[in-house]
């Protein structure tokens, strides 16, 4: 292809001889002849057969190929590419937080790792085979002989190349002739032009150029700047005629797209919002200093509109304009700082007593549920030494916040309502358990926690008189 000048055919110079080619009608004759040629010391030899003839490698002295090692390397490259890609894309460049699973290589990386191993190896097998065989090669001296067309049909050819160290035109002819071939021909240099025909060349060039146009446009768009607005393929999909929360509107007189609750209606879940059983504190009790977080909570919850109307309320009860600056995470305004430990107790009228009459069954229920949901972190006896916690400590997980001991002094002092509230809303790193446990179950856990606390800090007076003697015995 490098030679651009079209060659003139039928020049006086005779074509150069490339070697000799003997034709056989079956593979067995070919094998015999191949052995003969090999034993005569020729190494620049080849056999051309319509299918792989077994034993020809030994008969001609062909060395095994290194292709498997190349493929092994490619497979390992594929594996490491896949693992690096997943680690970097999902663990470094754009961290995906999923179920607190570790970033980087996890068992979920195996499928893609496997597929890319196969992909790289398979492509290397094919293209490595072509590369080792020197293919594609469209110009080949052996194609000059029309008899050779049957090398892919039913004939078998043995070829000795003139570049062989021991090559001698006459002796090779004699040797090949002695193997009784069907025909014996000298292979002559391919004199036909080696350049690609001009129309094909031009057509390929045009195709390649045409293929580059979209890429060029994309690159130009990415690198350059434009004053024009972005092109929207589907305008009504990008800009939908609808209102979102917190937007204004001209449809309603108050200008708000979010509509307030219709008077005289009860929304789903609203009934339980003022029941101490579901809250852990008493909303009916007047909060003496209705300031700060407490007041905001009450106003956001929309309770006490009428109850607090006449009370000493320094700020207006407008839920839309909270007086206090919003705390971080508006959804959980009650949440204390993340460390949880040193947070000041919330000033809510906590229930000091259970809102129902605790029974033995409740205590048993509380024990069951505590051991299912709480013991993993807080431990079976509540010292904050659950299995998860121990495991995290042994792994030196710096993101792990050790769970609070339920026997810590400030937890001991907490009223039952506050513990209920902690279970319902979560605290610090502890998530809310409201979706896993019914209110009754949460109260039962509170009951069990209280029992645990008392058992761990028991005084001699707590033990019935008739059982005190047992205590000393076991001690």
Partner 1 sequence: MATTASSYNPREIDNTNDIPGRRAPLITGNQTYSSVTEMVCRVAEDPQPKIWWLLFGFSTTTALTFLALIGFLIYKGVGIWGNMNPVFWAWPIVNFVFWVGIGHAGTLISAILFLFRQNWRTSINRAAEAMTIFAVVCAGIYPGIHVGRAWLAFWLLPYPSLNLWMWPQFRSPLLWDVFAVGTYASTSLVFWYMGMIPDLATYRDRSKHPFRRMVYGMLCLGWTGSSRHWLVYEKAYTLLAALAAPLVLSVHTVVSFDFAVSQLPGWHTTIFPPYFVAGAIFSGFAMVVTLLVPMRKIYKLENLITLRHLDNMNKIILATGSLVGLAYGTEFFMAWYSGNQYEGFTFINRAFGPYWWAYWIMVTCNVISPQLFWFKWFRTNLVAMWVVSIFVNIGMWFERFVITVTSLSRDFLPASWGYYRPTMFDGLMFFGSFGVFLTLFLLFCRYLPTIAISEVKGVISSSEHAEHVQAELLGHAHGDADGSHGQTNHGQTNHGHAT
* Residue from 428, 415, 423 nearest 444 by CA: 423
**Which long-range contacts does 378-386 make (Cβ < 8 Å, 24+ apart)?**
378/403, 378/404, 378/405, 378/406, 381/452, 381/456, 382/406, 382/407, 382/449, 382/452, 382/453, 382/456, 383/407
Taking the least distance from each CB to partner 1, the nearer of 136 and 241 is 136
Half-sphere exposure of 347 (CA within 13 A, CB side): 11
Taking the least distance from each CB to partner 1, the nearer of 60 and 416 is 60
Is residue 46 at the binding interface for partner 1, with CB under 8 A as the rule?
yes
Is residue 65 at the binding interface for partner 1, with CB under 8 A as the rule?
yes
Taking the least distance from each CB to partner 1, the nearer of 42 and 350 is 42
Taking the least distance from each CB to partner 1, the nearer of 131 and 292 is 131
Is residue 17 at the binding interface for partner 1, with CB under 8 A as the rule?
no
Residues 6+ apart with CB under 8 A from 414: 345, 350, 422
Interface residue with partner 1 among 6, 25, 84, 455 (CB under 8 A) is 25
Interface residue with partner 1 among 6, 16, 84, 132 (CB under 8 A) is 132
Taking the least distance from each CB to partner 1, the nearer of 151 and 444 is 151
Taking the least distance from each CB to partner 1, the nearer of 22 and 53 is 53
Taking the least distance from each CB to partner 1, the nearer of 145 and 405 is 145
Is residue 27 at the binding interface for partner 1, with CB under 8 A as the rule?
yes
* Residue from 387, 16, 343 nearest 186 by CA: 16
Interface residue with partner 1 among 142, 351, 437, 452 (CB under 8 A) is 142
Q: Do 235 and 226 contact (CB within 8 A), yes or no?
A: no
Interface residue with partner 1 among 152, 270, 305, 457 (CB under 8 A) is 152
Distances (CA, A) of 439 to 180, 280, 436: 100, 10, 10
Q: Least distance from C-beta 285 to partner 1, angstroms? A: 38
277 by DSSP, 3-state: which? helix
Stretch that binds partner 1, among 1-9, 82-90, 369-377, 422-430 (CB under 8 A): 82-90
Distance of CA 472 to the CA centre of its chain: 60
* Residue from 433, 432, 431, 429 nearest 399 by CA: 429
Number of residues that bind partner 1 (CB under 8 A): 70
Please tell me the distance from the alpha carbon of residue 87 to that of residue 67, in angstroms, as a whole number. 30
Q: What angle do CA 144, 145, 146 make, to 5 degrees?
A: 110
336 by DSSP, 3-state: which? coil
Stretch that binds partner 1, among 148-156, 246-254, 299-307, 466-474 (CB under 8 A): 148-156
Is residue 54 at the binding interface for partner 1, with CB under 8 A as the rule?
yes
What six digits make up the tokens of 68? Answer: 């498997």
Judged by CB under 8 A, the chain residues 197 through 256 that form the site for partner 1 are 233
160 by DSSP, 3-state: which? strand
Interface residue with partner 1 among 40, 73, 85, 388 (CB under 8 A) is 85
Taking the least distance from each CB to partner 1, the nearer of 106 and 401 is 106
Interface residue with partner 1 among 9, 12, 102, 136 (CB under 8 A) is 136
Is residue 144 at the binding interface for partner 1, with CB under 8 A as the rule?
no
What six digits make up the tokens of 51? Answer: 């299918």
Q: Which residues bind partner 1 (CB under 8 A)?
A: 25-29, 31-32, 46-54, 56-57, 60, 62, 64-65, 67-68, 71, 85-86, 89-90, 93-94, 96, 98, 101, 106, 108-109, 111-112, 114-116, 118-119, 121-123, 125-126, 128-130, 132-133, 135-140, 142-143, 148-154, 233
């Amino acid at each position: 292809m490098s030679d651009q000048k079209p060659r003139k055919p039928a020049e006086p110079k005779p074509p150069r001889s490339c070697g000799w080619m003997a034709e056989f009608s079956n593979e067995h004759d070919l094998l015999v002849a191949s052995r003969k040629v090999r034993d005569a010391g020729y190494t620049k030899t080849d056999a051309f057969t319509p299918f792989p003839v077994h034993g020809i490698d030994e008969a001609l002295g062909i060395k095994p190929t290194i292709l498997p090692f190349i493929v092994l390397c490619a497979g390992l490259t594929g594996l490491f590419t896949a693992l690096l890609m997943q680690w970097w894309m999902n663990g470094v460049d754009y961290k995906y937080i999923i179920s607190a699973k570790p970033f980087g290589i996890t068992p979920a990386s195996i499928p893609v790792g496997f597929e890319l191993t196969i992909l790289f190896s398979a492509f290397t097998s094919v293209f490595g085979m072509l590369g080792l065989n020197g293919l594609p090669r469209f110009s080949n001296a052996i194609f000059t002989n029309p008899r050779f067309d049957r090398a892919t049909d039913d004939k078998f050819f043995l070829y000795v190349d003139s570049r062989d160290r021991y090559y001698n035109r006459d002796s090779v002819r004699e040797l090949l002739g002695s193997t009784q071939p069907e025909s014996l021909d000298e292979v002559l240099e391919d004199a036909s032009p080696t350049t690609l025909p001009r129309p094909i060349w031009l057509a390929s060039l045009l195709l390649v150029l045409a293929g580059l146009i979209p890429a060029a446009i994309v690159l130009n768009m990415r690198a350059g700047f434009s004053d024009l607005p972005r092109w929207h393929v589907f305008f009504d999909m990008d800009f939908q005629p609808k209102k979102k929360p917190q937007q204004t509107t001209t449809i309603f007189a108050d200008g708000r797209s979010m509509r307030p609750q219709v008077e005289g209606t009860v929304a789903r879940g609203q009934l339980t919002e003022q029941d101490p059983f579901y809250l852990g504190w008493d909303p009916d009790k007047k909060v003496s200093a209705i300031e700060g977080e407490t007041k905001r909570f009450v106003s956001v919850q929309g309770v006490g509109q009428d109850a607090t109307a006449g009370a000493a309320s320094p700020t207006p009860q407008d839920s839309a304009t909270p007086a206090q600056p919003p705390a971080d995470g508006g959804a959980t305004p009650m949440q204390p700082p993340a460390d949880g430990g040193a947070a000041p107790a919330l000033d809510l009228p906590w229930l000091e007593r259970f809102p129902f009459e605790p029974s033995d069954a409740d205590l048993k229920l509380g024990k069951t549920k505590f051991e299912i949901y709480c013991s993993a972190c807080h431990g079976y006896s509540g010292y904050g030494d659950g299995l998860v916690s121990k495991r995290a400590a042994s792994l030196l997980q710096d993101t792990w916040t050790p769970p609070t001991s339920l026997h810590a002094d400030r937890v001991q002092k907490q009223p039952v309502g506050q513990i209920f509230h902690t279970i319902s809303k979560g605290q610090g790193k502890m998530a809310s358990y409201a979706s896993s446990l019914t209110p009754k179950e949460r109260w039962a856990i509170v009951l069990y926690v209280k029992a645990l606390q008392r058992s761990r800090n028991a005084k001699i007076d707590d033990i019935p008189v008739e059982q005190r003697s047992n205590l000393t015995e076991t001690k």
